[in-house]
């Protein structure tokens, strides 16, 4: 064996065992959260002292336990996960199954019938690639779907639509970011409207890049389960992180009253966390400046996302003496920077003019982003 073969052998061994380790952790994380949801539901339905806690049960649990990652929001996700996927019981050991209520088994049977009847919606035949038995289907789903993926799935109310994305995950193993993109771009609806479903599915599959094990490890659910500190609570590419760091320095060097507040600012809207790339406060304008960076071409969803963050800040963060927040969206298109300022909520043209005078010059931003993209 020569040296190059030795290096390749070591790398192959590492990759094989790394993938197995990540998969094992993901499966255990998923099953743990399902069991947590199961016990919460059982307590809510049959707990002797459930009335004492009432609607504040999840809040009480979060305060009483010292398990990293099990906040009130995540406990609610566990409960929702169990309610949406009671059929996971089918892959549990017999001694565990015997202790589960009959109602859970009946729910799982109903879902199995849905699985068999709706499978052809994405061109999957009962003998193709995996068993369409209750246990076989769930095993495949658990093995290919991280809990972060399940978080996206449980937010889909339509069971047929959810089944579509489940099968899409099993067949293509997309990253969470890619799964979100497919949901947001209405893949289910577009395939349903297609005159040739198999062709539509085939084209859809070719556009989906499979998830890498290293991407899963970035999930904050994964890291919290292992009790690791996650410096980044959202999956972002190295390119985006590098650009954000440079943009932060660039803005502070400009002066004009900018004070840095946060990177990857986590905000809770409803029961879901979102992350804002950068937050500044401008002492001259007396307002927050929210910056979002996208390392791809502009999409309308980028603008609506930033507008949502601005509305959140206006309602929840803005003080009485503050002016309305300003949003800056940075997107790259074929190595050319497109900078769009979102000044939603301005009360008068005077405010708009004042903002434009104090904010970084659009041409400066374009030149800076172009140069940084070339370097990186």
pTM of the model: 0.58
| Terminal alpha carbon distance of the chain | 37
Helix (H), strand (E) at residue 71: none
Q: What is the spatial distance between Cα 273 and Cα 21, in angstroms, rounded to a whole number?
A: 27
pLDDT of the residue at 111: 40
Q: Which whole-number Å values give the CA distances from 61 to 31, 69, 77, in the listed order?
A: 19, 12, 14
Higher pLDDT, 297 or 163: 163
CATH 3.30.479 for domain 238-375: no
Any idea where the domains of the chain sit in the sequence?
3-225, 238-375
Query: Is the per-residue pLDDT at 97 higher than 50?
Result: yes
Q: Where are the beta strands (DSSP E) in 170-256?
A: none
Secondary structure of residue 219 in the 3-state scheme: coil
Q: What average pLDDT does range 139-165 have in this prediction?
A: 91
pLDDT of the residue at 104: 55
Q: What is the spatial distance between Cα 32 and Cα 195, in angstroms, rounded to a whole number?
A: 42
Q: Which whole-number Å values give the CA distances from 65 to 60, 75, 106, in the listed order?
A: 9, 11, 32
């Amino acid at each position: 064996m020569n040296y190059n073969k030795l290096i390749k052998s070591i790398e192959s061994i590492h990759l094989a065992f790394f993938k197995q380790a990540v998969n094992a952790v993901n499966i255990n994380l998923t099953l743990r959260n399902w069991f947590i949801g199961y016990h919460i539901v059982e307590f809510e339905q049959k707990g002797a002292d459930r009335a004492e806690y009432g609607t504040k049960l999840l809040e009480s649990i979060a305060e009483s336990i010292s398990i990293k990652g099990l906040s009130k929001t995540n406990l609610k996700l566990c409960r929702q996960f169990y309610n949406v996927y009671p059929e996971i019981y089918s892959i549990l050991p017999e001694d565990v199954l015997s202790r589960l209520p009959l109602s859970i088994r009946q729910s799982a049977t109903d879902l199995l019938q849905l699985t068999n009847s709706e499978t052809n919606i994405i061109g999957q035949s009962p003998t193709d690639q995996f068993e369409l038995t209750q246990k076989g289907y769930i095993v495949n789903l658990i093995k290919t779907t991280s809990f972060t993926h399940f978080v996206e799935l449980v937010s889909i109310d339509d069971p047929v639509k959810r089944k579509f994305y489940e099968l899409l995950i099993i067949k293509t193993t997309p990253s969470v970011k890619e799964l979100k993109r497919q949901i947001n771009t209405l893949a289910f609806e577009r395939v349903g409207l297609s005159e040739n479903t198999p062709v539509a599915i085939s084209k859809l599959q070719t556009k989906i890049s499979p998830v890498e094990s290293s991407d899963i490890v970035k999930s904050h659910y994964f890291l919290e389960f292992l009790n690791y500190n996650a410096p980044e609570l959202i999956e972002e590419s190295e390119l985006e992180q590098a650009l954000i760091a440079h943009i932060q320095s660039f803005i502070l060097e400009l002066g004009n009253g900018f004070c840095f507040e946060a990177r990857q600012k986590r905000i809770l809207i409803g029961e879901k966390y979102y992350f804002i790339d950068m937050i500044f406060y401008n002492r001259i304008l007396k307002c927050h400046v929210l910056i979002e960076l996208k390392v791809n071409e502009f999409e309308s969803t980028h603008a609506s996302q930033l507008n949502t963050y601005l509305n959140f800040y206006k309602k929840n963060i803005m003080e009485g003496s503050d002016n309305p927040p300003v949003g800056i969206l940075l997107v790259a298109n074929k190595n050319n920077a497109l900078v769009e300022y979102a000044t939603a909520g301005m009360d008068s043209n005077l405010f708009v003019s004042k903002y434009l005078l104090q904010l970084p010059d659009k041409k400066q931003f374009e030149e800076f982003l172009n140069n940084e993209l070339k370097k990186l």
